[in-house]
Amino acid sequence: MKKFIRFTGILGAGALVMSAVFKINHLMGAPELLLMGTVCSGLFIIGSLVQKLSTK
């Protein structure tokens, strides 16, 4: 579970940063990167929540 959380966190953060760079430079693919970053960040948050609640 920790590997999944780490992977989605890194992927989500990277995709969000890259989508911002793509948007600023008006490059193609920015909406797809933004969507991927948002979904991965959501999975990261849900995974962190599940892990935190399962340890109690």
**What is the rounded CA–CA span in Å between residue 43 and residue 13?**
12
Residue 40 CA to chain centroid, in angstroms?
A: 3
What residues of the chain score a pLDDT lower than 70?
Answer: 56
23 near 30, Cβ under 8 Å? yes
Domain that holds residue 29: 2-54
The whole-model pTM stands at 0.85
- Residue 36 pLDDT: 96
Please tell me the total count of domains within the chain: 1
Q: Which pLDDT score, from 0 to 100, does residue 56 have?
A: 67
- Cβ atoms within 10 A of the Cβ of 36, count? 18
